Amino acid sequence: MTKLVESLHIASSPFVNAAISVLFFILLAKIADFIVDKVIRRIAKFTRTEVGGSLIDVVRRPVFFTIILFGISLAFEDFRFIGSAGFYIDGLLYSIIAVIWMVAAIKIGNIVVENAVVKVSDVTGLGKDVIPLIENVLKIVIVLAGLMVILSLWRVNIAPILASAGIAGVAVALAAKDTIANFLGGISLFVDKPFKIGDYIILDKGERGEVVAIGIRSTKVRTLDDVMITIPNSVIINTKIVNESAPTPYLRVRLPIGVDYGSDIDSVEKILVEIAAGNENVIKDPAPRALFSAFGENLLNFELLFWVKEPALRVRTIDRVNRDIYRRFSESGIKIRNPLPLDGILYLQR
């Protein structure tokens, strides 16, 4: 770059050469701005996203002014008489460049964060209300990095500052260790995706409910009693969770039924299958089936197995099936006995 500037020295006066250099870099900045605005923007349109265009709008001006300010800095090298003032001129010009790109980096970070949150919100349930939090954290990081760059341009020893910042960071980390643990736990949930919004899960203490929110700090589960449980992410990532909605949304139900000895087992089986198959919440494939599971002491044990469309329908489907079984058995003269207990729920295995 220095050789390029020297090739522009076509006059004996340093002022004329400096002016020519500045005009050359202004022209170069115009060409770069044209390339960014016309060529790169056209290429970005092939991505079919608005992010590319937004990023180009952010970087256009910084690229333009960076080239001009860099050219001005090189032009001042012709003035030998300014002496030590050149250090302050370069420091000022490069500090302005650092501030320009610091502002641009903040804008780019905001665009990326908003786009990323929108993309993952439907899958993870990450609310858009966390966007300001992430943007503020990113802004602080960028500003601190920019200040370090500016201080280094002015040859300020930043080692003591970094040491002090490290000590302060340790103190803050110790004071906010629970908050940091929850934050890292939230990141783990977004990466591992053990469940998502709308899934029905069973906690290690037996509570069952629907996941309604997955935030940076905590996860919220609404139980069947409409009670909201808020679980810190640092706790939930270390807890055994049963996801009834995964890997498929279907949930198999094993319903035990006991009948008297002497009952027509073929009729019992037929009625049970017809009742399950006729329920609108029960899927057709795999089809419901009834099994003669065991000879009891005073009864014959059957199991009715069927698959509901989703875990949210489990309770109401069992209620309707039980009502229909009681009515149909009463009409057919089949007496119901208390069946042997079963474990209740298994997951769909195709």
| Euclidean distance between CA atoms 146 and 140, whole angstroms | 10
Which distant-in-sequence residues (6+ apart) come within 8 Å of 29 by Cβ? Answer: 63, 64, 65, 67, 68, 71
CB-based contact 182:168 (threshold 8 Å):
no
Domain boundaries, the chain: 2-124, 191-243, 251-347
The confidence band for 18, taking pLDDT boundaries of 50, 70 and 90, is confident
The confidence band for 350, taking pLDDT boundaries of 50, 70 and 90, is very low
pLDDT digit string, tens, across residues 62-103: 999 999 998 888 877 766 545 567 778 888 999 999 999 999
Q: By C-alpha distance, which of 285, 279, 194, 198 is closest to 243?
A: 194
pLDDT digit string, tens, across residues 301-346: 999 999 998 888 888 999 999 999 999 999 999 999 877 554 444 3
Least confident stretch, 3-12, 286-295, 316-325: 3-12
Residue 39 DSSP class: I
| Euclidean distance between CA atoms 60 and 55, whole angstroms | 9
For residue 258, give both structure tokens: 């006991």
CATH architecture of the domain with residue range 251-347: 2-Layer Sandwich (3.30)
DSSP 233-298: HHHHTTS--EETTSSSS-EEEEEEEEE-TTS-HHHHHHHHHHHHHT-TTB-SSSPPEEEEEEE-SS
Residue 247 preceded by cis peptide, ω within 30:
yes
Task: State mean pLDDT over 171-199.
Answer: 73
Phi/psi at 322 (5° precision): -60, -40
pTM of the model: 0.54
CATH number of 191-243: 2.30.30.60
Return the pLDDT at 271: 94
Burial profile 224-237: b = 16 or more Cβ within 10 angstroms, e = fewer: eeeeeeebbbbebb
The confidence band for 278, taking pLDDT boundaries of 50, 70 and 90, is very high
Kind plus residue range of the DSSP H or E element containing 169: helix 159-175
DSSP 77-89: GG-GGGTTHHHHH
Phi/psi at 302 (5° precision): -120, 155
Return the pLDDT at 2: 54
